[in-house]
């Protein structure tokens, strides 16, 4: 049977009469990885009978990830509609309208059974096209606060799913509270195995620092300022993003032998990210939607630094984890003054770290990906009522 990256090629799916699913969502990895986790929750038999394609913006992060995962990609016209001046807004709306027409043509030729959307403005054209063509759709909102795209699409999807009960209050319709779909590797791996996979010493605490897919310069600067205080206490796995990697490597090269062994800067982690989350004792990170699912799944205490230009999304995510006792929140502008002390205080307080870890684990919903996969399959097979 022909396959693409482990998924069936379209011509083989027609022969096998498997489920045909179009995935859409993007702009950031936070709108892509939930869909991959949902598809990863399929059994081997379900996976063998499923054909996928991704629909998004040409050149977007979703195209890069889809190609890496071996999923065929289709681009539609689209444009953002937030914070735009009137001329740009008009052009974006025109592009979105073009995208809907293109999406209808794609649906007619590709003949999907279901559309799975995970938010971002890139998901708008395909979801609207699916509605017009009578194709059922599942829209999953990862964040605590719905963005404009999700608000506009909510009335037109067959199933609307959210991570937490409190998020459902934003919508005047039935909502599935599913939890956040996390990668199965996070749930299956133990700390010793994770540290071995990354070549990290089993006996030393591990601090993981990450600033999103592109990194975060303000976090990186605060890390470099604090490294002399941290490295005697822990190994530091620092995901710098591509722009700051060279500076981090230069700094690492200037450390003494013990410091060089304890500090590991990398631009980005892909397949190794689940191991990094499980291996860590503490994480310093932005507060994207994945923090609501992946940190609890790993029982990972967090120092959260919401991106100051992300509206209320990241701040809401961070406050939720902090209120549950699973993290603490720092403002981006306070990083240089406070991050060093905050990390040091936690690294030497094993009792507090353990309490935060247990609070984080209490929030985990390990069945979320499977619940969403089941609902998607029900829609595809016509056994789920379409609103």
10-20 pLDDT per residue, tens:
444 443 468 99
pLDDT value at residue 16 = 46
Judge whether 243 and 220 are in contact, CB under 8 Å.
Answer: no
In the chain, what are the domain boundaries? Answer: 3-181+366-380, 185-362
**Is residue 236 within 8 Å of residue 344, measured between CB atoms?**
no
pLDDT in tens, 164-203: 999 999 999 999 999 999 999 999 999 999 999 999 998 9
Which stretch of 141-145, 322-326, 334-338 has the lowest confidence by average pLDDT?
Answer: 141-145
Q: Within 10 A of 125 (CB to CB), how many other CB atoms are there? A: 28
pLDDT for 285: 96
236 or 382, which is more confident? Answer: 236
Q: What is the pLDDT of residue 15?
A: 37
pLDDT tens column, 241-279: 999 999 999 999 999 999 999 999 999 888 899 999 999
**pLDDT value, residue 7:** 52
Computed over every residue of the chain, the mean pLDDT equals 90
Asked if 3-181+366-380 and 185-362 have one fold, the answer is: yes
Indicate if the pLDDT at residue 232 is higher than 90.
yes
Digit-coded pLDDT (tens) for 78-90: 888 665 577 777 8
Of 318, 378, 366, the C-alpha closest to 137 is 378
Give the total residue count for the chain: 387
State the pTM of this model.
Answer: 0.86
CA distances from 230 to 8, 240, 277, 347 (A): 48, 17, 19, 9
**Residue spans of alpha helices (H) in 7-117:** 10-16, 33-40, 44-48, 61-68, 86-110
**Who wins on pLDDT, 78 or 127?**
127
Confidence of residue 387 (pLDDT cuts 50, 70, 90): very low
Report the CATH number of the 185-362 domain.
3.40.50.2000
Mind giving me the DSSP string for 125-173?
A: HHHHHHHHHT--EEEEE-SSS--HHHHHHGGG-SEEEESSGGGGGG-SS
- Give the residue from 149, 128, 111, 4 showing the smallest Cα distance to 66: 4
pLDDT value, residue 93? 86
Q: Please give the pLDDT value at position 280.
A: 98
Q: With 90 as the cut, is the pLDDT of residue 118 above it?
A: yes
**N-term to C-term CA, the chain:** 36
DSSP, res 18? -
Q: Which fold has domain 3-181+366-380?
A: Rossmann fold (3.40.50)
Which percentage of the chain shows pLDDT scores above 90? 76
What's the pLDDT at 56? 95
Q: How far is CA 76 from CA 21, 141, 332, 373, in A?
A: 17, 21, 35, 25
pLDDT of residue 147: 81
């Amino acid at each position: 049977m022909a396959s693409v990256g482990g998924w069936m090629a379209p011509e083989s799916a027609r022969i096998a009469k498997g489920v045909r699913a179009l995935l859409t969502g993007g702009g950031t990895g936070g709108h892509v990885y939930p869909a991959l986790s949902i598809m990863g929750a399929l059994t081997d038999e379900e996976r063998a009978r499923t054909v996928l394609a991704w629909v998004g913006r040409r050149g977007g992060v979703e195209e890069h990830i889809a190609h890496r995962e071996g999923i065929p990609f289709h681009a539609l016209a689209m444009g953002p509609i937030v914070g735009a001046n009137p001329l740009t807004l008009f052009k974006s709306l025109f592009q979105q309208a073009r995208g809907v027409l293109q999406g209808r043509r794609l649906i007619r030729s590709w003949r999907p059974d279901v559309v799975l959307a995970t938010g971002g403005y890139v998901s708008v054209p395909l979801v609207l096209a699916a509605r017009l063509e009578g194709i059922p759709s599942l829209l999953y909102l990862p964040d605590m606060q719905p963005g404009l795209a999700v608000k506009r699409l909510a009335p037109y999807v067959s199933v609307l799913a959210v991570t937490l009960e409190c998020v459902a209050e934003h919508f005047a319709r039935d909502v599935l509270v599913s939890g956040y779909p996390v990668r199965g590797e996070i749930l299956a791996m133990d700390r010793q195995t994770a540290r071995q996979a990354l070549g990290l010493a089993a006996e030393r605490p591990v601090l993981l620092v990450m600033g999103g897919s592109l990194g975060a310069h303000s976090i990186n600067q605060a890390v470099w300022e604090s490294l002399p205080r941290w490295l005697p206490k822990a190994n530091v796995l620092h995901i710098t993003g591509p722009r700051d990697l060279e500076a981090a490597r230069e700094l690492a090269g200037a450390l003494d032998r013990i410091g060089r062994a304890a500090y590991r800067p990398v631009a980005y982690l892909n397949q190794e990210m689940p191991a990094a989350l499980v291996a860590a004792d503490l994480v310093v990170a932005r507060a994207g939607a994945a923090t609501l699912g992946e940190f609890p799944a790993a029982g990972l205490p967090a120092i959260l630094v919401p991106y100051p230009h992300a509206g209320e999304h990241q701040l809401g995510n961070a406050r939720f984890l902090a209120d549950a006792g699973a993290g603490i929140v720092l403002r981006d502008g306070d990083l240089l003054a406070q991050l060093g002390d905050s990390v040091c205080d936690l690294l030497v307080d094993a009792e507090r770290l353990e309490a935060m870890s247990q609070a984080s684990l209490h929030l985990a919903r390990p069945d979320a990906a499977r619940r969403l996969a089941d609902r998607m399959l029900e829609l595809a097979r016509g056994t789920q009522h379409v609103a």
